[in-house]
A and B are shown apart, each in its own frame.
Chain A
């Protein structure tokens, strides 16, 4: 996957770049609106990660350019403003999703994968990983061609893990993904444990393989 990241905060730019590059996909970066438009004009990307608070104007201009130039990159807006107006404006201008700072890298990745899948595999809407096959339209999962019955939370979690395969995901990131930030963190950690235990058991039964690794107290890795 070819990615363009437009973000003016240097350390955030570097971290996101590193997290996404490890996949083997390519991630290019730039820090302002002018460079971004120049790059988009010359190259083709699959996805654009766009911070709307840029030093030389807001990122909506970049979004405008993408749409008016007839490009079909998916655009994920990153904003420091949790503002309904900005969100509506961004989505109306043709952005595919909107994420508010601060976010977990795993969340960013999962969102990006979701919009990328929507665009790239319009007809073929299934996701395969090591014998686990997810039908995104029917919301059903088969493991080695055997159907697996999952609760909604387990299904969401499985997609989240597949999008971030090979990465350690913190419990905080999982909790925020599943419950948003309205829930009490301490309580939700217990639920995560229960959900992962169930998902792990179901996957083990059908594939005979343990997909999950527990990383001390901090989180889980799916591989």
Chain B
């Protein structure tokens, strides 16, 4: 639920309840005043009757009371306090019963006591109250409408800079050089927020760039010492006085150095892909690349007695030839390295989907972890960066890459756009 909706809800509940309560109070007060007015009128009528009796020493005729209904009842009571009460009023003209107000009082005519009761119609005041209520209701409705409309338009307008900022934050990518634009808002809070977000994003971007530069420089700086190690080893083995044990140790150092060098090169490649430094985009025929690679890996396939089966359609994509080479190379070397002796590899390129399936470990791989950097399978002796590199290449070109396990076969697929 949006903040404006929350605000709307609260403001409507509060204003409706205030209006309802004030309506009730208003009604009660008006009712009270109107009744008092009626009672005053009735008191005057009674005084008129008393005046009339004092003057003429007889009861007035009902005709003298306009619309009021007056009745006289003989009584022997000597004491009777004047009472006001609600009673139905029979309109003599319209012959119907209406709400009325009555007064009963004791008068004396020639020593005979009478209870005089005057009933007056309350229709007029009822009518007045109804009109006042209607006006109040109408006002309430209008007020509600105005509230809702202002909330919708004014609030939405006020929040616009916020949504603009939010959109930018959603699209924000540390690897991009696109900066978050600050917004021009009259609302101080939004201005502060915008400034803070802009500052934070530029700091994050700078630090990320710094980290990448660091990785690149560190990798490059390691190349010269590695070159020293390798060349010293090359010199060392020229000495034919070394013992077999020493040669064995040298072999291990060779392997470690070449592994370190491959690791370094993989890291550098990752940085290059991340920075989109390989911009030699051209049309690449995937089928040709795969067939070339199959030729290159022929020896390895043969050595492990792996059967290669492929069904390839023609597919041309726009990408760096080098990166596509790396991608296909990694797919092949994974499929071979993690295969078993006398296993099989099936390559299928149809539509825009490429699928590499290979036999191997009977258990499926951990889908979520395999594309992480330095994740390695149980028996892997690689750098742990091969799949991460593939994933980054795919991310760069907006290809989709995934893994699924079909009974007995590990399948890596890439969907090209």
Contacts and interface: CB of A to CB of B under 8 A. Distances in A.
A129 to B, nearest CB: 19
A218 B238 contact: no
Interface in B277-294: 278, 280
Contacts of A190: 303
A16 B231 contact: yes
Interface in B184-223: 220-221, 223
Contacts of B230: 102-105
Contacts of A172: 254-255, 258
Interface residues of B, number: 42
A187 B303 contact: yes
A191 to B, nearest CB: 6
B224 A12 contact: yes
A81 B247 contact: no
Interface stretch (B90-98, B132-140, B260-268, B391-399): B260-268
B234 A173 contact: yes
Interface in A147-205: 167-168, 170-173, 176, 181-187, 190-191
Interface string A48-92: 000001000000000000000000000000001110100000000
Interface in A13-66: 15-16, 18-19, 53
Contacts of A182: 329, 333
A216 interface: yes
Given A84-B280, A183-B333, A191-B299, A217 B265 contact: no
A170 B234 contact: yes
A135 to B, nearest CB: 25
Contacts of B227: 9, 12, 80, 101-103
Contacts of A82: 223, 265, 268
A26 B211 CA distance: 44
Interface centre among B226, B234, B268, B300 (most CB of A within 10 A): B234
Interface string A100-114: 111111100000000
B250 interface: yes
A215 B237 contact: yes
B175 to A, nearest CB: 19
Contact of A181 (B228, B234, B258, B268): B258
A202 B337 CA distance: 31
A15 B300 contact: no
A106 B247 contact: no
B303 A102 contact: no
Nearest to B262: A181
A181 B303 contact: no
A152 B146 CA distance: 87
Given A80-B223, A101-B227, A187-B303, A215 B240 contact: yes
A101 to B, nearest CB: 4
B249 to A, nearest CB: 10
B83 interface: no
Contacts of B280: 84
A219 interface: yes
A11 interface: yes
B251 interface: yes
B233 interface: yes
Given A84-B280, A216-B244, A106 B299 contact: no
B381 interface: yes
Contact of A18 (B235, B258, B278, B300): B235
B224 A9 contact: yes
Contacts of A215: 237, 240, 247
B333 A102 contact: no
Nearest to A166: B238
A170 B228 contact: no
Give 4 nearest A-B pairs by CB, closest first. A102-B226, A101-B227, A102-B227, A216-B247
10 contacts: A9-B228, A15-B234, A81-B223, A102-B229, A104-B234, A105-B235, A170-B237, A183-B333, A215-B247, A218-B250
Interface of B: 220-221, 223-224, 226-235, 237-238, 240, 244, 247-248, 250-251, 254-255, 257-259, 261-262, 265, 268, 278, 280, 299-300, 303, 322, 329, 333, 337, 381-382
